[in-house]
């Protein structure tokens, strides 16, 4: 309850999800919020992209975009190495594309500056 937040698109402030849907820890090299559910304002195409560098090198994923403004807000991992396997099929929001509204304090903060409580997925 202390850190309940609503996730908004940085581009247009559309609501994309909330912290009650967080379901995993941020992997090394990726600055993402991992959620198992998002709003209908998050859209993705069936076409897959392939990561050419960084933490997603060699991974296949679908890009998530904001329905309202078209900003790329994250990805759904389709195929990866074993180190990122736990992310497959989950919604991963880029922290740089998300603004958080903290319900208790009624303040707005960048997702990249937030530290949410640890959440662990069971295998």
Q: Token pair of 105, please?
A: 């304090």
Q: What is the pLDDT of residue 26?
A: 80
Domains with residue ranges and CATH for the chain: 5-113 (2.170.150.20)
Q: What is the pLDDT of residue 120?
A: 56
pLDDT band at 122 (very low <50, low <70, confident <90, very high): very low
Cα(64)–Cα(42) distance, integer angstroms: 6
Q: What is the per-residue pLDDT across 52-96, written as a single tens digit (0 to 9) for each?
A: 998 999 999 999 999 999 999 999 999 998 989 999 999 999 999
pLDDT band at 123 (very low <50, low <70, confident <90, very high): very low
Cα–chain center distance at 56: 14
Q: What is the pLDDT of residue 1?
A: 56
Tally of residues, the chain: 123
Cα(83)–Cα(99) distance, integer angstroms: 28
pLDDT band at 113 (very low <50, low <70, confident <90, very high): confident
Task: Return mean pLDDT, the chain.
Answer: 89
Q: What is the pLDDT of residue 66?
A: 98
């Amino acid at each position: 309850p202390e850190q309940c937040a609503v996730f908004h698109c940085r581009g247009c402030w559309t609501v994309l999800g909330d912290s009650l849907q967080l379901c995993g820890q941020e992997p090394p090299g990726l600055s993402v919020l991992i959620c198992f559910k998002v709003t209908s304002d998050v859209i993705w195409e069936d076409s897959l992209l392939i990561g050419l560098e960084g933490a997603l090198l060699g991974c296949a994923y679908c890009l998530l975009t904001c329905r309202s403004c078209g900003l790329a807000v994250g990805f759904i991992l389709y195929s990866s190495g074993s180190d990122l396997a736990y992310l497959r099929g989950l919604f991963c929001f880029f922290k740089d594309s998300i603004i958080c509204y903290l319900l208790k304090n009624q303040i707005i903060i960048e997702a990249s500056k937030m530290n949410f409580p640890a959440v662990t997925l069971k295998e």
